[in-house]
Amino acid sequence: MDLSWMAWTWPTAIFFLTILTMLIGMSVWEYFVPGGSPRVGVLRFETTRGDRLFVSLLGSAFIHLGWLAFMGPNLWWALAVSVVYAVLVFRYV
């Protein structure tokens, strides 16, 4: 498949497919268990599963940008930090 339009690369395509897969997974989860499991966490306001997914994706973006700025282009450790961050967000926020 030619992904040369819009400067697409395979890592970029995988990145967006992963986000799409997470959104579809959250939609299926919401369909079978409606309500979003609202709770009050460390931020002291009510968040749902979707809110926690958004916070984890946004935080992961900043983790990766910071990693690029201070550590260089090897992003595997930034990915590991982002996964740990997402687990903590879903657990405590």
On whether both 40 and 73 belong to a single domain, the answer is yes
Give the pLDDT confidence score for residue 63 in this predicted structure.
96
Helix, strand and coil percent figures for the chain, each rounded to 5: 70, 5, 25
Q: Could you tell me the residue range of the domain that residue 22 belongs to?
A: 1-34
Residue 63 class from Cβ within 10 Å (0-12 exposed, 13-18 middle, 19+ buried)?
buried
User: Count of domains in the chain?
Assistant: 2
On whether both 23 and 43 belong to a single domain, the answer is no
On whether both 73 and 61 belong to a single domain, the answer is yes
On whether both 27 and 43 belong to a single domain, the answer is no
7-56 pLDDT, tens digit each: 777 877 888 899 999 999 999 999 999 988 899 999 898 999 999 999 99
On whether both 43 and 16 belong to a single domain, the answer is no
| pTM for the predicted model, two decimal places | 0.82
